[in-house]
Chain A
Amino acid sequence: NAGVTQTPKFQVLKTGQSMTLQCAQDMNHEYMSWYRQDPGMGLRLIHYSVGAGITDQGEVPNGYNVSRSTTEDFPLRLLSAAPSQTSVYFCASRRIPGTQETQYFGPGTRLLVL
C-alpha cells in the first residue's frame, strides 16, 4: 500500500489564484480529513469526510472547498488564494469514522501565497 499520498509537495501561488491540493489513499478508509499546520497554532481541521458523498466543516473551513466522489480521493480546493492561506497542508485518513483507529497522515503540501 502507498498509504496516504499528496500532490504537489510544494506550490507557490499569487493572491487570487485557484488550485486543488490532491489527496488519495489506497487503504479503503472511510474517514478522510484535511488539516493545516501553522507555527504556534498546531494542526487545525479544515474539512473532513466520513464517506463518499459526505463532507463537513472543521475548525477553519473558510476559503476552502472539498468533495468526496470516491472513497480513495479527497481533494481540497482553494478558490481564491490569500496570503493567510500560506501553510503546510496535511491530508489524513482512518478506517472507520469515530472508532478507536489509528489515523494516517500524508507527507504534506507546502503552500506559499504571495
Chain B
Amino acid sequence: KQEVTQIPAALSVPEGENLVLNCSFTDSAIYNLQWFRQDPGKGLTSLLLIQSSQREQTSGRLNASLDKSSGRSTLYIAASQPGDSATYLCAAISSNTGKLIFGQGTTLQVKP
C-alpha cells in the first residue's frame, strides 16, 4: 500500500529565505509525483508534475526533484515571499492502481 509522508508539518521562515519541503513515498511504482498548493479555504492548485522518467521540474522560483530509488521528492522554493504562505501537498499516482495518494501537507508561513 502506497503511503506518502511530508516533513515538516509546518514551517515558518523569514522573507527571502530559500527553503526545501520534503516528501517521501513507500512504493516506487509511480506514474508521476505532483506538488500542489492549497490556500486557506480554497481548493488545490497544481504547481509541478514530475513524470516517473524525469528527475526534476522547474517553474519560476519552484524546483521539484524526484528520486524514485530512494522514494523521495523535494520542493525547493527560492527567495521565499509572503505570498508563498500556504499549505503544500505532494501526491503520487500509483502505476499499479492509478490512484493519487496524498501526503498530509506542509503548512508554510513566510514572514515579511
Q: Which residues of A contact B (CB under 8 A)?
A: 31, 33, 35, 40-45, 48, 50, 58, 90, 92, 97-100, 102-108
A44–B45 Cα distance when bound, in Å, is 17
Segment among B14-22, B69-77, B94-102 that sits at the interface with chain A: B94-102
- Residues in A with CB closer than 8 Å to B45 are 105
A28–B103 Cα distance when bound, in Å, is 28
Q: How many B residues, CB 8 Å from partner?
A: 25
Q: Choose among B32, B44, B51, B101 the residue that contacts A45 (Cβ–Cβ < 8 A).
A: B101
Is there an interface contact between B95 and A98, defined as CB atoms closer than 8 Å?
A: yes
Query: Does B104 lie at the interface of the complex (its beta carbon under 8 Å from any beta carbon of A)?
Result: yes
Is there an interface contact between B98 and A41, defined as CB atoms closer than 8 Å?
A: no
- Residues in B with CB closer than 8 Å to A106 are 43
Whether A98 contacts B89 in the complex (CB less than 8 A), given A90-B43, A90-B44, A103-B34, comes out as no
Whether A107 contacts B43 in the complex (CB less than 8 A), given A45-B99, A100-B49, comes out as yes
A98–B51 Cα distance when bound, in Å, is 12
Please list 10 pairs of residues, one from A and one from B, whose beta carbons are closer than 8 Å in the complex, sorted by A's number: A41-B104, A42-B4, A44-B102, A45-B99, A58-B99, A92-B100, A98-B93, A98-B95, A105-B44, A108-B42
A42–B43 Cα distance when bound, in Å, is 13
Count of A-B contacts judged by CB separation below 8 Å: 57
Name B40-60 residues within 8 Å CB distance of A.
Answer: 42-46, 49, 51-52
Is there an interface contact between B46 and A102, defined as CB atoms closer than 8 Å?
A: yes
- Residues in B with CB closer than 8 Å to A98 are 31, 93, 95, 98
Query: In the complex, which residue of chain A has the Cβ closest to the Cβ of B97?
Result: A98
